[in-house]
Chains A and B, each alone.
Chain A
Amino acid sequence: MSLDPATVRRIARLARIGIDESDLHALQGELNGILGWIEQLNEVDIDGVEPMVGTGHAALRMRDDVVTDGDARDAVLSNAPDAAGPFYTVPKVVE
C-alpha cells in the first residue's frame, strides 16, 4: 500500500492539521515508511486463528448506577482558555 499526495492531503484535512504543500512530499515518504513497516504483519499466517482482543480473558468491570461525580464546574473549566460564565467557548462553529 502506498499513499499518493492527494490522500496525504485528505488525511491532514480529516485530522484538522494544516500542512504546507512543500512538506507534502516528505510526509508522504514518512507515512509510506510507517505503512510499509506495519505491512510486515501481513506475512503472518493467521488462517483459523480467532481474533485476539487482549491478553488474558478479562472482561469489563461494571459500576453501579449512582451519581458519584460532577458539581465541579470550576475544575472542569480550569483549563479552558476562554470560559464565559458557566460555559466553555470556542471560535464560532456553524455548519
Chain B
Amino acid sequence: MSYVIEGRTGPWELVVGLEVHAQVISQSKLFSGASASYGGEPNTHVSLVDAGFPGMLPVINRECVAQAVRTGLGLKARINLESRFDRKNYFYADLPTGYQISQFTHPIVGEGAVEIELADGSIRTIGITRLHLEQDAGKSMHDQDPTRSFIDLNRAGVALMEIVSEPDIRMPEEAGAYLRKLRMILRYLGTCDGNMEEGSMRADVNVSVRKAGEPFRTRCEIKNVNSIRYVMQAIEIEAARQVEIWESGGSVDQETRLFDPARGETRSLRSKEDAHDYRYFPDPDLLPLVVEEAWVESLDAALPELPDAKRQRFQDEYGIPRYDAGVLVAEQATADFYETVARGRDPRLAANWVIGDFFAALNRTGRTIQDSPITAEGLGGMLDLITDGTINGKIAKEVFEDMLESGESAAAVVERRGLRQVTDTGAIDAAVQAVLDANQDKLAEYRSGKDKLFGFFVGQVMKAMAGKGNPALVNAALKKVL
C-alpha cells in the first residue's frame, strides 16, 4: 500500500517526521522541588528556581532521568550514559529565565525504533532519532484582560521528553499509527499519561513532499497539534498546499506553521525573518549528566511487559488470533482484565466475551474498565457456568445483561431467575413431543423432505423451555423422534 498525492505534474510522495513532547510523570519538577501535578491554583506550584529569580540553581530530579531512560529502553533505543544540558534561548513572557534548559548536542537517548501496524495488516518500522529531557514553559492567557496577558508558571519547569522520529513516515495513516503506538508504550511504561486533550502529549509535525527518488525538499513544521486525528488532517492539508506551491513554480519556505482545524488550513506562525535563533550553549549551572550502566540495567529489569511482547505472548499462550490479541493489549488494564478472566478457563471463550459483549456493554453504558459493574472475576464466574453446563450460551447473554444491571454474581442471577439449563432428558422429550403435537402440519412437511424445518423445531422447543434447554440434548432428542 502506498500513499501518493496526485498533482497536475504527476504523483508526489509524502515525507513526515514527528517531534512528540511527552510530559514526564513525576511528583516534582525537573530542576526544582515544586509540585509537577496538574491543576493547582495559579502560581502555587512554583519555586523561585522556576520563576527565574537571580542566584537560584537547578538540581536535577533522579526520577525524571529514570523515566527518560525507561522510555528509551521501551523504544529499543541507545541510552547515552553521559549527556548534557544546554540553554535554548528565546524571549517569551511565560519563560521567566529567558531560556529553556534542554539537551541539544548530547541527548540522554539516541537511536531507537517503533514498530507500527497499519489497517491492512502491514508492519513498518519508524526510526527514532533521539529523546531528550527539557523543561516545559508556563502558560499565558490572552483573554482575561484587554491590554494584558496573564501568566501562570505552574507548568514552568515540569519535565518533558521530546521524542524525535526519523522522517520515515510516508502516509497520514502511518503518523496516526505511530502516535497511537508511542502513546501505548508510554502508558505501559508509566512515563507519560499520553493524554493529548490535556496537552500532556503534543506533536510537532514536519512535512515535506517530493517526487519519487528525489532527495528531501524543504519542510515546514506544524506546531502543537493536539489530537491524532488533527495530525493526520494537518499532514494531508499541508502536503496539498506544498504540492500546489511547487507545481505553480514557487518554492516552499522553511517555516513554522499552525494548523487551524476549524478552517481546515495551515498558516504561517512565524515569518522567516523572525525565525528563532536559539543560541544554544552548554548550561554552566549543570555538570554533565552521568548515569551508571548498572542503574540502567536495573531499570531495564524492572520494566513491565510491553505491548508487542504481550501481544505475542497472548497469541502463543492463549492461542487467540493476532487481531484479538492486539485489541486486548491496547490498554494495560484491558490486558490485565482479560488475563484474569482467561486464567484457568477457555482463553478463546474469554477473548470472545471480553472483546464482544463486555466491550459493547462498556460502550453502551459509558463506563470504563476501571468502573465496570462486572469485574473480571465476575465475568470469569459466568464463563464457569457456561463451561460446567449450568447455563447455555444464549442464556449467558441474558445473565450477563442482568449482572450489568444488578451487579450480582452470575450464580446469584441464575438462582434468582431460575435460569439453570435443563439437562433432564425427560423434560426435554416432553417438550419435544408437545411441539410436534402442536405442529402436525410442519411435521408432515418435514417428513416429506423439507429438512430445513429442523431449525424451526429446535427454535420451538427452546421457546417452550424458555431458552433453558441444553442445545445439544434438544438436538439429539429431536433427531431421535424425527
**Chain A interface residues (CB < 8 Å from chain B):** 14, 16, 53-54, 58-73, 75-77, 79, 82, 84-95
- Give complex CA distance A63, B290 in Å: 14
CB neighbours of B270 from chain A (8 A) = 95
- Give complex CA distance A63, B33 in Å: 9
Interface residues of B in 400-431 (CB under 8 A from A): none
Question: Contacts A59-B287, A59-B290 hold; do A86 and B41 have CB atoms under 8 A apart?
Answer: yes
Question: Contacts A54-B287, A59-B289 hold; do A92 and B148 have CB atoms under 8 A apart?
Answer: yes
- Give complex CA distance A53, B285 in Å: 12
**Chain B interface residues (CB < 8 Å from chain A):** 26-28, 32-35, 40-49, 51, 53, 59-65, 82, 84, 91-93, 140-142, 144-153, 269-270, 276-277, 279, 282, 286-290
Closest residue on chain A to residue B93 by CB atoms: A90
Question: How distant is A86 from chain B, measured CB to nearest CB, in Å?
Answer: 4
CB pair B44–A73 under 8 Å, yes or no, is yes
Question: How distant is B285 from chain A, measured CB to nearest CB, in Å?
Answer: 10
Closest residue on chain B to residue A83 by CB atoms: B43
Question: How distant is B114 from chain A, measured CB to nearest CB, in Å?
Answer: 27
Q: List 16 A-B contacts (CB under 8 A).
A: A53-B288, A59-B287, A60-B60, A61-B287, A62-B59, A63-B61, A63-B62, A67-B28, A67-B34, A69-B49, A70-B34, A73-B44, A84-B144, A86-B152, A92-B145, A93-B149
CB pair A60–B288 under 8 Å, yes or no, is yes
Report which of B43, B147, B269 forms a contact with A73, defined as CB distance below 8 A: B43
CB neighbours of A79 from chain B (8 A) = 53
CB neighbours of B288 from chain A (8 A) = 53-54, 59-60
Question: How distant is A61 from chain B, measured CB to nearest CB, in Å?
Answer: 7
CB pair A91–B26 under 8 Å, yes or no, is no
Question: Contacts A87-B150, A90-B149 hold; do A66 and B43 have CB atoms under 8 A apart?
Answer: no
CB neighbours of A86 from chain B (8 A) = 41-44, 152
Report which of A60, A62, A65 forms a contact with B27, defined as CB distance below 8 A: A65
- Give complex CA distance A53, B60 in Å: 18
- Give complex CA distance A61, B51 in Å: 22
Question: Contacts A65-B61, A72-B46, A76-B46 hold; do A91 and B27 have CB atoms under 8 A apart?
Answer: no
CB neighbours of A82 from chain B (8 A) = 148
CB neighbours of A70 from chain B (8 A) = 33-35, 40, 44-47
CB neighbours of A69 from chain B (8 A) = 28, 32-34, 47, 49
CB pair A94–B142 under 8 Å, yes or no, is yes
Question: Contacts A65-B26, A76-B51, A93-B93 hold; do A60 and B149 have CB atoms under 8 A apart?
Answer: no
Question: How distant is A30 from chain B, measured CB to nearest CB, in Å?
Answer: 19
Closest residue on chain B to residue A56 by CB atoms: B287
CB pair A64–B62 under 8 Å, yes or no, is yes
Given contacts A72-B47, A76-B48, A86-B43, 20 further A-B contacts (CB under 8 A): A53-B287, A53-B288, A59-B289, A60-B287, A61-B60, A62-B60, A64-B62, A65-B27, A65-B61, A65-B63, A66-B33, A67-B34, A69-B32, A70-B40, A75-B48, A76-B43, A84-B144, A87-B141, A87-B151, A92-B142
Closest residue on chain B to residue A94 by CB atoms: B142
Question: How distant is A14 from chain B, measured CB to nearest CB, in Å?
Answer: 5
CB pair B148–A73 under 8 Å, yes or no, is no
CB pair B84–A53 under 8 Å, yes or no, is yes
CB neighbours of B35 from chain A (8 A) = 67, 70
CB neighbours of B61 from chain A (8 A) = 62-65
CB pair A60–B289 under 8 Å, yes or no, is yes
CB pair B27–A66 under 8 Å, yes or no, is yes
- Give complex CA distance A17, B270 in Å: 19
CB neighbours of A94 from chain B (8 A) = 142, 149
- Give complex CA distance A89, B59 in Å: 28
Question: How distant is A90 from chain B, measured CB to nearest CB, in Å?
Answer: 4
CB pair A90–B62 under 8 Å, yes or no, is no
Question: How distant is B288 from chain A, measured CB to nearest CB, in Å?
Answer: 6
Closest residue on chain A to residue B43 by CB atoms: A73
Question: Contacts A59-B287, A89-B149 hold; do A16 and B91 have CB atoms under 8 A apart?
Answer: yes
CB pair A92–B149 under 8 Å, yes or no, is yes
- Give complex CA distance A29, B289 in Å: 39
CB neighbours of A73 from chain B (8 A) = 41-44, 46
CB pair A90–B148 under 8 Å, yes or no, is yes
- Give complex CA distance A68, B29 in Å: 10
Closest residue on chain B to residue A11 by CB atoms: B277
Report which of B60, B145, B150 forms a contact with A88, defined as CB distance below 8 A: B150
- Give complex CA distance A55, B149 in Å: 44
Question: How distant is B347 from chain A, measured CB to nearest CB, in Å?
Answer: 39
- Give complex CA distance A85, B150 in Å: 10
Question: Contacts A16-B91, A75-B48 hold; do A65 and B145 have CB atoms under 8 A apart?
Answer: no
- Give complex CA distance A91, B150 in Å: 9
CB pair A87–B277 under 8 Å, yes or no, is no
Question: How distant is B304 from chain A, measured CB to nearest CB, in Å?
Answer: 19
Question: How distant is B166 from chain A, measured CB to nearest CB, in Å?
Answer: 26
- Give complex CA distance A54, B140 in Å: 37
- Give complex CA distance A89, B150 in Å: 5
CB neighbours of B62 from chain A (8 A) = 62-65
